[in-house]
Amino acid sequence: MYSGVIDGFKKVASAEGIKGLYLGGMPTLIGYSLQGMGKYGFYEYFKYLYTGIVGEETAAKYKTMLYLSASGSAEVIADVLLCPMEALKVKMQTSATPFATSFLGGLRKINAAEGINGFYKGLAPLWLRQIPYTMVKFATFERTVEAIYKYALSKPKEQYTKTEQLGVTAAAGYFAGIFCAIVSHPADTLVSKLNNVAKAEGESTGTVAMRILKDLGFAGVWAGLGPRIFMIGTLTAGQWLVVDSYKVWSGLPTTGGAAPAAKKE
């Protein structure tokens, strides 16, 4: 359909105008705002909770496991918040004919046709996409921040200004985003197709998913990875910048990096 990203922009803009480029923008904004609040907020909560359960010494020894378990747990909750908006967004963006003329109209149409299942039938594939994505994003980000301070910079984290620390945040965020895109891309492709394919009578979601994967083939599953790497890298860096900027504004330390050494008496 499109030979590349630029070609896609040109064809959509030519056929539908600027409005076509922002189709599905409202559910995207609301859905990912809810998901982001849930993801980053519950990540900090689960880090605190799990550290309290296993003890600070064990948590420090197995930091990567702490990052993975806390982020995975947070994403389970965050995706429940995202899924209804993701379902609407995909239908608005991928339907052959216009699905709905408004945000509320789209919600009503899904509810009338499929009920609550219409909003959550993509939850399991969404978890398959987002949980590995988030676990990789948070663990890679935390470890990358640690590596930057340990190997690339000459001073401990606390000796750098908050602005310099935010620069490390941005670099680590972009690097983490690259890995996120690769890990989650096949499931992302599947979710996009699943939300816009009708089930046959008695057909399970798993059966539909296998049918879609068979039709796509290996190359089809990985189509669009390049643009997604650029998008997710930029998005991830931006998200971590927002989170850490808020922390700085609140008087909290930025995320990641080795803790300051304890002072000897």
Q: Which two tokens stand for residue 232?
A: 């997710």
Neighbours of 40 (CB within 10 A): 21
Cβ neighbours of residue 165 closer than 8 Å, sequence gap 6 or more = 157, 244, 248, 254, 257
| DSSP one-letter string for 192-235 | HHHTTSPPPTT--HHHHHHHHHHHHHHHHHTTTHHHHHHHHHHH
Nearest C-alpha neighbor of 221 from the set 192, 180, 179: 192
Side chain identity, residue 5:
V
The pLDDT of residue 143: 94
Q: How many residues does the chain have?
A: 265
Whether pTM exceeds 0.85? no
Neighbours of 135 (CB within 10 A): 21
The pLDDT of residue 235: 86
The pLDDT of residue 79: 95
- Residue ranges, the chain, pLDDT below 50: 260-265
Neighbours of 28 (CB within 10 A): 17
For the stretch 191-246, pLDDT in tens is: 777 766 666 676 677 777 787 888 778 777 788 888 888 888 898 899 999 999 99
Neighbours of 1 (CB within 10 A): 5
The pLDDT of residue 210: 81
180 neighbors 133 (Cβ within 8 angstroms): yes
Helix, strand, coil % in the chain, rounded to nearest 5: 80, 0, 20
The pLDDT of residue 2: 58
DSSP structure class, residue 162? H
Q: Which two tokens stand for residue 182?
A: 């690769």
Whole-angstrom distance, CA of residue 36 vs CA of residue 42: 10
For the stretch 173-186, pLDDT in tens is: 999 988 888 877 88
